[in-house]
Structure 1
Amino acid sequence: MQFKTKLIPLAIAMAFVGTASAQEVVKIGHVGPISGASAHLGKDNENGARLAIEELNASNFLINGKKATFQLVTEDDGADPKQGTAVAQKLVDAKVQGVIGHLNSGTTVPASKIYNDAGIPQISPSSTQPMYTKQGFPGAFRVVANDNKLGGTLGKYAVTKLGAKNIAVIDDRTAYGQGVAGEFIKGAKGANIVAKEFTTDKATDFTAILTSLKAKKPDLVFFGGMDAVGGPMLKQMKALGINAKFMGGDGVCTEGMIRLAGDGLGEGNVTCAEAGGVAGPQEKVLADFSARFKKRFNADVQLYAPYVYDSVMTMAHAMQNAKSSDPAKYLPELKKIKHQGVTGLIQFDDKGDIKDGALTLFTFKGGKRTKMEVIK
């Protein structure tokens, strides 16, 4: 029996080739703690990246005239530096063209060297440790204000607006916790720092530390760390009868604090600052993003998702401006980018820090996180 080979007409064959060549696959890596105590924040970040990727793919986004298909490559760093560097190498091996992450400064800083050595640009949506951009890596960027501004502003606010005179400071020994606590102390000029204590980012019992603090009668306690520790700490402060005000950075400025702190949260007793923030017409833009996010994931924004979303979009538009997803070619465009994001205008200074980074002050009232003011 003889088989006849069917020949595909040349025009059709060429059309298939043209279709294939008109597609460009772009791999974007995302890293955050998808497991562990900060998993709710890591998932929030991942969903922010996923929404950006889905919207880019639905928009017929072009790079040098070719439709770009973006793929999200996600890794879990567990908020652990060793795990962070291991997954950073995995993303390098996967040949991603850019990285969004990490969430924590403690994983972002060590991982940044791996991305730098591989020539892969990295935008952190949430790491505030100044050392991240002070290393001088040309591809390291962040879209939020750093600890110098965050901690220093909170320190000044504690003294000038809250009238704090005797302050106790606790940090969780992470790069973020120590950094923001150190800058807070520098900013709290005129106050008496009655105690400097530390715990860990996995601790659950603070009885010894808090009992010691109670005897020193602070009128304000500043905590450098995340909500998974800050929430239970507030509960235990209430149980021990410590009536001091509580203050922290963006790590405790989350919706999760409502659940984690319970009745320890109080009414307007907590003041925290989130790196970033919008005012005026930009508030509607951010509200529209939050609505899209809620519709897609059936969950409210926890904290950093809008900044992750903006980070992905900023990187994509740098590629579009460069007409290439090659890291070496789009990096110069990233350095001079002006991207109007949901969190405001994204542009970087010569170190890779966000220009004119805003801070938003919040408190908690009626079991809800309540915006106080935006500071630039």
Structure 2
Amino acid sequence: MNIKMQKLLPITAAAMLFATMATGAVADEVVKIGHVAPLTGQIAHLGKDNENGARLAVEEINKKGLVIGGQKVTLQLDAQDDAADPRTATQVAQKLVDDKVVAVVGHLNSGTTIPASKIYSDAGIVQISPSATNPQYTLQGFKTTFRVVATDAQQGPALANYAAKELKLKKVAIVDDATAYGQGLANEFEKTAKSLGMTVLSHDATNDKAVDFRAILTKIKGEHPDAIMYGGMDATGGPFAKQAKQLGISAKILAGDGVCTDQLSTLAGDATDNVVCSEAGRSLEKMGAKGSEFEAKYQKRFGVPIQIYAPFTYDAVYIIVDAMKRANSTDPAKILAAMPSTNYNGVIGNVQFDEHGDLKHGVISLYDYKGGKKTLLSEVNM
């Protein structure tokens, strides 16, 4: 380097500093929001759907511009894969804490959301699950746990009530996948079914990796049920329904939101025509103009249809940002302090939380399938 260049460098640096001070230009504060869902494995399509909803919100907010406490803020989605595995979920949760996220949207499954919740609680970080329905998640005494869907304590009874009162079913066999979600939903369904006078013929357990259900289904066929309630996800629920039909079982297949996806028709074929399922939230078609607008934006951005809970992750990001605005801070502790007073009108409707972090006004939607297409039957306000 020549002497002239050496002399110029300090002057240039000083000039740049002066210019920055004169224009008031300050680098944006980068604020990380975590998102966790299974991005690999059998239900990766559901996890990616959730991530897409959160990503769409982050991109929109950044495009509009966000200022908190007089500082321009750029959001960054810290997206992680828990593979629907509880052990991986806790490792990923610790990674997000170490990454210094200010809040987390996730996890997708109850079986991952619940063990991860202690790590977020210990760190004082808001966790909003868009899809975990096991009641235990928000009943642990943590101040950090919130969700934007109804619970299985509402979903199970809604499904049982529909089976007993609308379908007039008398005898039911129950099978669950032994996860926190599948087992929890099946148990809630069973309690209500019995209280309504339905006969529960049997309650069997499988696992969330099973692909062959013929032994359980053959046993159940001999019990002659009017319906079989399956607690699990679509990756196993699809083959379950398909094999039931192959075995000549005419009983209705009842299931919760884990099964109740557009993907089910691919997994179960024409056996979907015998399925009645529930979702722990308002249907997209009942979300009105906001739902239609969201659907159009989502499909334009990602080129695929919505599975289930993308609108819920989208709103969860906006709810976190709403808390930031009300707190006028990106400090996780101040965001957490603002969360209980949330009163946000989003795509999924009005969101207010009770003392546990559950929705004050939950909705259960019930569906069947006509020609492989998921069709809304009714909506139950909780």
- TM-score normalised by L of structure 2: 0.95
Alignment-derived partner of residue 212 in structure 1: 219
Post-superposition offset of 1:272: 0.8
Q: Measured at CA, do residues 279 and 54 of structure 1 come closer, stay the same or move farther in structure 2, by a change above 3 Å?
A: closer
Alignment-derived partner of residue 237 in structure 2: 230
Q: Is the 8 A contact 1:277 1:374 kept in 2?
A: yes
- Cα deviation digits, residues 58-98 of structure 1 (max 9, x gap): 01122123221000101110100001101111111111111
Counterparts of 1:39 and 1:172 in 2: how far apart (Å)?
17
AA of the residue aligned to 2:31: V
Q: Is the 8 A contact 2:93 2:116 kept in 1?
A: yes
Alignment-derived partner of residue 122 in structure 2: 117
Q: Does the alignment pair 1:293 with 2:298?
A: yes
Alignment-derived partner of residue 360 in structure 1: 365
Q: Is the 8 A contact 1:271 1:362 kept in 2?
A: yes
Post-superposition offset of 1:20: 2.0
Q: Is the 8 A contact 1:154 1:187 kept in 2?
A: no
Alignment-derived partner of residue 258 in structure 1: 265
SS at match of 1:113: helix
After the TM superposition, which residues 269-284 of structure 1 pair with which residues of structure 2 at under 5 Å, given as runs?
A: 269-277=274-282, 282-284=287-289
Alignment-derived partner of residue 2 in structure 1: 3
My pick for the range that moved more, 180-189 or 1-10, is 1-10
SS at match of 1:108: helix
Post-superposition offset of 1:279: 8.6
Counterparts of 1:105 and 1:278 in 2: how far apart (Å)?
21
Alignment-derived partner of residue 176 in structure 1: 181
After the TM superposition, which residues 1-376 of structure 1 pair with which residues of structure 2 at under 5 Å, given as runs?
A: 2-3=3-4, 4-5=7-8, 6-7=11-12, 8-9=14-15, 11-15=18-22, 18-20=24-26, 23-188=28-193, 189-266=196-273, 269-277=274-282, 282-376=287-381
Counterparts of 1:281 and 1:147 in 2: how far apart (Å)?
21
Counterparts of 1:178 and 1:279 in 2: how far apart (Å)?
27
Counterparts of 2:317 and 2:283 in 1: how far apart (Å)?
19
Number of residue pairs aligned between Structure 1 and Structure 2: 372
Q: Measured at CA, do residues 85 and 280 of structure 1 come closer, stay the same or move farther in structure 2, by a change above 3 Å?
A: closer
Counterparts of 1:276 and 1:45 in 2: how far apart (Å)?
14
Counterparts of 1:341 and 1:132 in 2: how far apart (Å)?
23
Post-superposition offset of 1:314: 0.3
Q: Is the 8 A contact 2:285 2:291 kept in 1?
A: no
SS at match of 1:252: coil
SS at match of 2:350: strand
AA of the residue aligned to 1:83: T
Counterparts of 2:269 and 2:233 in 1: how far apart (Å)?
16
Identity fraction in percent: 52
- TM-score normalised by L of structure 1: 0.96
AA of the residue aligned to 1:272: C
Q: Measured at CA, do residues 237 and 15 of structure 1 come closer, stay the same or move farther in structure 2, by a change above 3 Å?
A: farther
Post-superposition offset of 1:278: 5.3
SS at match of 1:48: helix
What 5-or-longer segments of structure 2 have no aligned partner?
Answer: none
RMSD: 1.4
SS at match of 1:196: strand
AA of the residue aligned to 1:176: Y
Counterparts of 2:87 and 2:286 in 1: how far apart (Å)?
42
SS at match of 2:261: coil
Post-superposition offset of 1:280: 8.8
- Cα deviation digits, residues 200-222 of structure 1 (max 9, x gap): 00000001100000000001110
Post-superposition offset of 1:187: 1.4
Name segments (4+ residues, structure 1) moved above 3 Å.
7-11, 278-282
Counterparts of 1:282 and 1:107 in 2: how far apart (Å)?
28
Q: Is the 8 A contact 1:277 1:360 kept in 2?
A: yes
Counterparts of 1:330 and 1:39 in 2: how far apart (Å)?
30
Counterparts of 1:105 and 1:15 in 2: how far apart (Å)?
52
What 5-or-longer segments of structure 1 have no aligned partner?
Answer: none
Q: Is the 8 A contact 1:133 1:353 kept in 2?
A: yes
Q: Measured at CA, do residues 121 and 20 of structure 1 come closer, stay the same or move farther in structure 2, by a change above 3 Å?
A: same
AA of the residue aligned to 2:215: A
Q: Is the 8 A contact 2:124 2:336 kept in 1?
A: no
SS at match of 1:265: helix
Counterparts of 1:374 and 1:230 in 2: how far apart (Å)?
22
Q: Measured at CA, do residues 156 and 57 of structure 1 come closer, stay the same or move farther in structure 2, by a change above 3 Å?
A: same
- Cα deviation digits, residues 176-206 of structure 1 (max 9, x gap): 0011000001111210001111110000000
Counterparts of 2:177 and 2:49 in 1: how far apart (Å)?
22
